[in-house]
Structure 1
Amino acid sequence: MDLNLDRRAMMRGVALAGAGLALPGWASPVSAGTTALPPELSGEEMTLTVGHVMRTVDGKTAHGIGINGHAPAPLIRLKEGQRVRIHVENSLDEETSIHWHGLILPFQMDGVPGVSFPGIPARGRFTYDFPVIQSGTYWYHSHSGLQEQMGHYGPILIDPAGADPVAFDREHVVMLSDHSPLHPHAIFRKLKLEPGYFNRQRQTIGGLLAGRDQKAGERVEWGAMRMDPTDIADVTATTYTYLVNGHGPADNWTALFKPGERVRLRFVNASAMTTFNVRIPGLAMSVVAADGLNIRPVEVDEFQFAPAETYDVVVVPAEDRAFTIVGESIDRSGMARATLAPRVGMTAPVPPLRRRPVATMTDMGMGAMAMGGDCPPEHAAMGHCAPSGAGHSMDHSMRDFTPAPGVKRDPGVQTISPMPADRTDYPGQGLEDVGHRTLNYRMLEALVPNPDMRAPGREIVIHLTGNMERYMWSFDGMKFAHVDKPIPMRSGERVRVTLINDTMMGHPIHLHGHFFELVTGKGDHAPRKHTVLVQPGGKVSWDVTAQPGDWAFHCHMLYHMHAGMMQVVQVRDAGGKVA
């Protein structure tokens, strides 16, 4: 360990915790700016070579894994209606793979080793061959080990076969990600040894006295539960540099425009572990697509998006000046930063990092109880709270909760949310009172009617479970390695899936090979997504039409998936075959 580096990080953390703020991650001089991007690939046939690369971020070089010598990987540009053959050559001494995130294709082409295909062996080769039946903003990444964290990811743009319903004069991919000089297995090991290893923003006596942190009584209650309300992000800016298109904050990556143009920014969260809060101070953003699919435009000033989600926005900068694109990490320990400007070399003021959020009882799944609601008899009977007049409103033990039906109760399940709430109207942790317009899932509305409006024939309830103290993650208390059978569905059936988050950390849940309709009251214009962020202590329901095949179903926080928060959805016809 570099003791000097560790001491600097520790002292920085002490200062930040005491002040409730954070210093910019680009303390070194900002460069003149760059518009550099990995190359673009297109056509009906292409070759991708996976191999070792050296990555330079803000002047510092580290080892990575990339494609065709680039990390991030090249932009792949396709057209709706075409067919594509992609030859992948693996020059590594280990297995690799490519998953085409959000693309609807035959399951054998989905790219998950051990689930939909065998993987691409060391020094081996595999050809992906599939029709392109959609348009929009997507991305691709490795589904082997922790290679994604090392740079094995890239964007996909698919142009529509007909006229694009979104009017724009210019477009830019804005792909956010996180980069560490530490090997990803070293990061995972540190999390297993001490889940709060990277958290340098814990509560302090100074914060208590200044009124920025929890009161003493609340802190005692959280301590009894062995939970840290500042544990908002597992991996933070103490090791991460947050990137825009592979460039660090000091690189000043720049997206160009001419004043008055309608500029389409295609935001992709390609990070391993970071949920970002995105804003462009001085510019309103019209959100026009979510997870690649068009929505009715909704104007906001900031949105939160989790790993694997994408949002397309249109901005209209009228002035001949620069604007800062801010991607602030959810825990506010650092930010990705770029510039939107008429000319390279221009910069705009970079806002300081805002005060880090602190988890609340709502984040613990207390629902109405956290907001002073009555204690229902069924919860009083289980010891979750006390009826009115009993002298207190909640029992914070949390470690003795009766397991929910279908949830295996073992040391891997630290808590069960007693009153999980539908939080699809919630903008995200830290955005409750920012003073401007923020996005939430209930504001999303599909541009065109959904293709399948049948009512679901049954419901599957899945609990997102974990033990943050031991860094164990699972579905229904079962790690992927211990699951003995997949989640069964019939080909073509309509199923409602309800996800209940029993942890106090958000989880972006991704179902491969499908789009699902969020149940948010939008009827036949329900927003369709491939990834949904289930807020802490919250629940989300969505309806899906099952497509034949074996499909990975997992949390897109890379280390959560690696720790076990993954299962397989197996879809068969009535005869038990893939249709």
Structure 2
Amino acid sequence: MKTFALLFLSAMACHARVVEYDLTIARQDFTPGNGLRPIPALTVNGGIPGPTLRFREGDTARIRVHNQLGNEETSVHWHGIVLPVAQDGVPGVTTPPILAGGKHDFEFKLPHSGTYWYHSHTTLQEQRGVYGSIVVDPAGGEPVKADRDHVVVLSDWTLEKPEEVMRSLRRGGDWYALKKGSMQSLAGAVKAGELKSFFEREWSRMPAMDISDVAYDAFLANGRPSIHLPGKPGETVRLRFINAAAATYFYLQSATGPMKIVAADGPPVKPISVKRLLTGMAETYDVIVKIPPTGKWEVRATAQDGSGHASVFLGGGTLHPAPDVPKPDNYNMDSHLMAAMDEMDMPGMDMSGGKEDTDADPERPLPPYSRLRSPVPTGFPASLPRRTIELRLTGDMERYIWSFNNKTFAEDGTIPIKEGEVIRMEFINDTMMHHPIHLHGHFFRVLAGQGNDAPMKHTIDVPPMGKRTVEFRADNPGDWLLHCHLLYHMHAGMTRIFAYQDKSWKPPTQGKLKPGTNQICTDNCCVPASEQTTGTPPGMPPGHMPHGGGHEHDPLLAFLDGSIQSHMSEGTLTVMNSRNDFFASWEAGYGDENTYEADIGWKRYFDPNFSTVLGWRFTDHDGDEDRAFAGVEYRLPLLVESFLQIDSEGDLRAGLGKSIQITDRLGVFGDVRYDTGSKWEWSVGADHTLTKQFSLISQYHSDFGFGGGLQFRF
């Protein structure tokens, strides 16, 4: 009987429907409209986003990806689909990169229904346009019916090259905050009535807070700032929202009234109504809205930081805009922390199908995880071995280091696990940023008080200073990424690989592995290897230690900051990676005080408040000689920078420095230092930001007098 069942299943697999697609990734100019200029972008089949790939549950996907980028590798990851490890599409981890001019054939079964997406996992190509949607219809039809079904891919758009965005984030500074109107200043704190909060933050040695890292030029729905989708009055519409943004959370809200969530990250959930829905990068939500009898109704996706939105319109006639989302209070940290704590502790609301009081929802809610319920039990068997892994989300916004447990992927990249165990992950966010954490190759249960009905997801938002707990069953052997899906956080170090340690490859009893695929083939048909054998595909032997496909790199970046003024010049050339600065700095006066001092050296970063420095000093000051020096740098309360050095001539040098933003563009600064050889030196000044690269500066220096000029940043 068992043999007959196996033969029947094998025959069914051999006659399963195969759905084929060709995707071509190419470079071409693109503009989303709204007066934005065209810029070089990466398209999939000529568009951004790429085409929607539609399947039915149980189908086999056969997708050929062609790379026409000329001189650049690429890749495609099938986000949220549980598939064999060799098909996951992460270059260097699970799948070879797709070389320029080449192609790669993917073939895998669609084991579950839902809304998913695909995107590049190579460098920063996702930001440049390599993404699209996947819809897998349930074999028995959708449990919640709708008259219309539309996919809405949300994304963010920048006119800068993504590599320059990453470089700008690594150098620090406030340009993006200034560009999008979220700069914190003394005048702004007074205007907001938050002067006390302003200085409390500085006393706690925390830099100015922001909700989002990047200032974007547009936010898009299906590649445009606004779209109009077909729908007639009285019809119900299923909107499959996919947050494909690189670095933007979106609030979703409909002018038609509360939205009904019917699926999250693919699997269905018991329907709940929400007035406003926060969705993190890489999450998907299916929501149902009903078009009223008359009018044109907006469903709006508002950037979490309030810097813009994308619009979806349904119906026709008089416009009914969606409500505005209140902007965040960036001066008051407690408002963000209390909102996070309150909502994570909020008990689940009525899931029995009764009317829910959406008017009680917060104005700026967190995702409604505690209210989501799976329609089927999701608990794992009690007999399975269990263990807990604590992952603290750590980072430094100013230096732009992001990590788990204070170690970047380059410093600690692999978490070993064993097949068959249940892994509980406790994410504890020690930062003031939201982090959308995504696990490849598995769904996890979101543990928020739902018991055996916990929803299954693959991505979860961990709010500032908050905590989330999930668990998954290790039942898909291979090497699987776990990472923050904020693209720049992932590449700055917030990445790990779950590496199954009990790896073995068992050759199939019948058939042979088809070259270049994960298919076991006989004379009659091919079946995914995962259906005939367990373990890791060939080429990944026991003890294999994966590399990170580029995520483990910690490249050196160069920056030049300084000023040319009427009486002096000063500045620093820095070559840096996550933990090290190699620098050359100078301070030179003109005229009567025609002297200079220049340092070259190495600075080692330990945390936002402490660094060490070792270097050599050149000078022509009277009575001074060139010398070696060593010291420490420490950040004091009120964000006062201090340092202490000793040099090879036995002299000590100590100093303090402080800057404060007066208005969005005007800042003041001052510093003082004492050297046992050259005695006191001090300066005060002000700068006014003009552009990303330039500011006006005026400064009085105790040795060189008063002057002004141009400050530069390259």
Shift in CA distance, 75/433, structure 1 to aligned 2, threshold 3 Å: closer
* Secondary structure of the structure 1 residue equivalent to 2:91: coil
Structure 2 match to 1:57: 32
Listed one character per residue, the Cα deviations across residues 481-504 of structure 1 (whole Å, up to 9, x for unaligned) are 222x51111112111110111111
Higher deviation after alignment, 187-196 or 307-316: 187-196
Higher deviation after alignment, 328-337 or 136-145: 328-337
Structure 2 match to 1:519: 447
Structure 2 match to 1:192: 170
Tell me, in whole angstroms, the C-alpha distance in 1 between the residues paired with 2:391 and 2:434. 15
Shift in CA distance, 103/213, structure 1 to aligned 2, threshold 3 Å: farther
Tell me, in whole angstroms, the C-alpha distance in 1 between the residues paired with 2:201 and 2:505. 48
Tell me, in whole angstroms, the C-alpha distance in 2 between the residues paired with 1:364 and 1:463. 19
Listed one character per residue, the Cα deviations across residues 503-534 of structure 1 (whole Å, up to 9, x for unaligned) are 11010000001100011111111011100000
Structure-to-structure mapping, 1:334-483, within 5 angstroms: 334-342=308-316, 347-349=319-321, 351-352=323-324, 354-358=326-330, 361=333, 423=344, 425=346, 434=362, 440-450=368-378, 452-454=380-382, 457-483=386-412
- Does residue 99 (structure 1) correspond to residue 77 (structure 2)? The answer is yes
Structure 2 match to 1:385: none
Q: Which amino acid aligns with 2:197?
A: E
Shift in Å, 1:118: 2.1
Q: Return the structure number with greater relative CO, CA threshold 8 A, min gap 6.
A: 1
Shift in CA distance, 433/168, structure 1 to aligned 2, threshold 3 Å: closer
Residue in structure 2 matching 1:217, options 190, 193, 196: 196
- Does residue 203 (structure 1) correspond to residue 184 (structure 2)? The answer is yes
Shift in CA distance, 75/424, structure 1 to aligned 2, threshold 3 Å: farther
Structure 2 match to 1:126: 104
Shift in Å, 1:361: 4.9
Shift in Å, 1:193: 1.5
Structure 1, unaligned runs of 5 or more: 1-41, 372-418
| The structure with more strand, counted as a fraction of residues | 2
- Does residue 257 (structure 1) correspond to residue 231 (structure 2)? The answer is yes
Shift in Å, 1:47: 1.2
Shift in Å, 1:363: 8.0
Q: Which amino acid aligns with 1:304?
A: L
Shift in Å, 1:444: 0.6
* Secondary structure of the structure 2 residue equivalent to 1:480: coil
Shift in CA distance, 532/437, structure 1 to aligned 2, threshold 3 Å: closer
Tell me, in whole angstroms, the C-alpha distance in 2 between the residues paired with 1:360 and 1:45. 52
Listed one character per residue, the Cα deviations across residues 32-79 of structure 1 (whole Å, up to 9, x for unaligned) are xxxxxxxxxx96222111111221212432211011111111111111
Listed one character per residue, the Cα deviations across residues 526-561 of structure 1 (whole Å, up to 9, x for unaligned) are 011100000000111111001211001100000001
Tell me, in whole angstroms, the C-alpha distance in 1 between the residues paired with 2:246 and 2:423. 29
Shift in CA distance, 119/323, structure 1 to aligned 2, threshold 3 Å: same
- Asked if the contact 1:448–1:525 (Cα under 8 Å) also holds between the matched residues in 2, the reply is yes
Structure 1 match to 2:271: 297
Tell me, in whole angstroms, the C-alpha distance in 2 between the residues paired with 1:265 and 1:226. 44
Shift in Å, 1:362: 5.4
- Asked if the contact 1:362–1:537 (Cα under 8 Å) also holds between the matched residues in 2, the reply is no
- Asked if the contact 1:511–1:531 (Cα under 8 Å) also holds between the matched residues in 2, the reply is yes
Residue in structure 2 matching 1:247, options 203, 221, 224: 224
Q: Which amino acid aligns with 1:109?
A: Q
Tell me, in whole angstroms, the C-alpha distance in 1 between the residues paired with 2:149 and 2:115. 11
Shift in Å, 1:94: 1.0
* Secondary structure of the structure 2 residue equivalent to 1:537: coil
- Asked if the contact 2:116–2:242 (Cα under 8 Å) also holds between the matched residues in 1, the reply is yes
* Secondary structure of the structure 2 residue equivalent to 1:202: coil
Shift in CA distance, 508/253, structure 1 to aligned 2, threshold 3 Å: same
Structure 1 match to 2:607: none
Residue in structure 2 matching 1:44, options 15, 19, 28: 19
User: Is the radius of gyration larger for structure 1 or structure 2?
Assistant: 2
Listed one character per residue, the Cα deviations across residues 210-240 of structure 1 (whole Å, up to 9, x for unaligned) are 4x352x232122123443454111013xx33
Structure 1 match to 2:554: none
Q: What is the aligned-residue RMSD (CA, Å)? A: 2.7
- Does residue 332 (structure 1) correspond to residue 332 (structure 2)? The answer is no
Structure 1 match to 2:695: none
How many pairs does the alignment contain?
A: 474
Tell me, in whole angstroms, the C-alpha distance in 2 between the residues paired with 1:246 and 1:46. 21
Listed one character per residue, the Cα deviations across residues 447-469 of structure 1 (whole Å, up to 9, x for unaligned) are 11116343761100011110111
Structure 1 match to 2:255: 281
Residue in structure 1 matching 2:460, options 532, 541, 553: 532
Shift in Å, 1:436: 9.6
Structure 1 match to 2:88: 110
Could you state the TM-score of these two structures normalised by the residue count of structure 1?
A: 0.77
Q: Which amino acid aligns with 1:71?
A: I
Listed one character per residue, the Cα deviations across residues 52-111 of structure 1 (whole Å, up to 9, x for unaligned) are 122121243221101111111111111110111111111111110000000000011001
Structure-to-structure mapping, 1:2-151, within 5 angstroms: 44-58=19-33, 59-60=35-36, 61-92=38-69, 93-151=71-129
- Asked if the contact 2:263–2:286 (Cα under 8 Å) also holds between the matched residues in 1, the reply is yes
* Secondary structure of the structure 2 residue equivalent to 1:423: helix
Tell me, in whole angstroms, the C-alpha distance in 1 between the residues paired with 2:342 and 2:185. 30
- Asked if the contact 2:152–2:241 (Cα under 8 Å) also holds between the matched residues in 1, the reply is yes
Tell me, in whole angstroms, the C-alpha distance in 1 between the residues paired with 2:363 and 2:93. 45
- Asked if the contact 1:506–1:533 (Cα under 8 Å) also holds between the matched residues in 2, the reply is yes
* Secondary structure of the structure 1 residue equivalent to 2:142: coil
Structure 2 match to 1:231: 210
* Secondary structure of the structure 1 residue equivalent to 2:31: strand
Structure 2 match to 1:509: 437
Tell me, in whole angstroms, the C-alpha distance in 1 between the residues paired with 2:479 and 2:127. 25
- Asked if the contact 1:553–1:568 (Cα under 8 Å) also holds between the matched residues in 2, the reply is yes
Shift in CA distance, 175/124, structure 1 to aligned 2, threshold 3 Å: same
Q: Which amino acid aligns with 2:167?
A: R
Higher deviation after alignment, 522-531 or 473-482: 473-482
Q: Which amino acid aligns with 2:452?
A: D
Structure 2 match to 1:562: 491
Shift in CA distance, 147/438, structure 1 to aligned 2, threshold 3 Å: closer
Q: Which amino acid aligns with 2:23?
A: L
Tell me, in whole angstroms, the C-alpha distance in 1 between the residues paired with 2:196 and 2:157. 38
- Asked if the contact 2:326–2:363 (Cα under 8 Å) also holds between the matched residues in 1, the reply is no
Tell me, in whole angstroms, the C-alpha distance in 2 between the residues paired with 1:576 and 1:564. 31
Q: Which amino acid aligns with 2:310?
A: A
Shift in Å, 1:127: 0.7
Listed one character per residue, the Cα deviations across residues 370-428 of structure 1 (whole Å, up to 9, x for unaligned) are 79xxxxxxxxxxxxxxxxxxxxxxxxxxxxxxxxxxxxxxxxxxxxxxx999937499x
Q: Which amino acid aligns with 1:308?
A: A
* Secondary structure of the structure 1 residue equivalent to 2:21: strand
Shift in CA distance, 422/348, structure 1 to aligned 2, threshold 3 Å: closer
Could you state the TM-score of these two structures normalised by the residue count of structure 2?
A: 0.63
Residue in structure 2 matching 1:544, options 466, 472, 475: 472
- Asked if the contact 2:87–2:108 (Cα under 8 Å) also holds between the matched residues in 1, the reply is yes
- Asked if the contact 2:245–2:282 (Cα under 8 Å) also holds between the matched residues in 1, the reply is yes
Shift in CA distance, 439/272, structure 1 to aligned 2, threshold 3 Å: closer
- Asked if the contact 1:279–1:301 (Cα under 8 Å) also holds between the matched residues in 2, the reply is yes
Structure 2 match to 1:312: 286
* Secondary structure of the structure 1 residue equivalent to 2:247: coil
Tell me, in whole angstroms, the C-alpha distance in 2 between the residues paired with 1:468 and 1:282. 38
Tell me, in whole angstroms, the C-alpha distance in 2 between the residues paired with 1:297 and 1:165. 10
Listed one character per residue, the Cα deviations across residues 154-180 of structure 1 (whole Å, up to 9, x for unaligned) are 011111111320111111111110011
Shift in CA distance, 424/468, structure 1 to aligned 2, threshold 3 Å: farther
Shift in Å, 1:320: 1.7
- Does residue 500 (structure 1) correspond to residue 428 (structure 2)? The answer is yes
Higher deviation after alignment, 101-110 or 456-465: 456-465
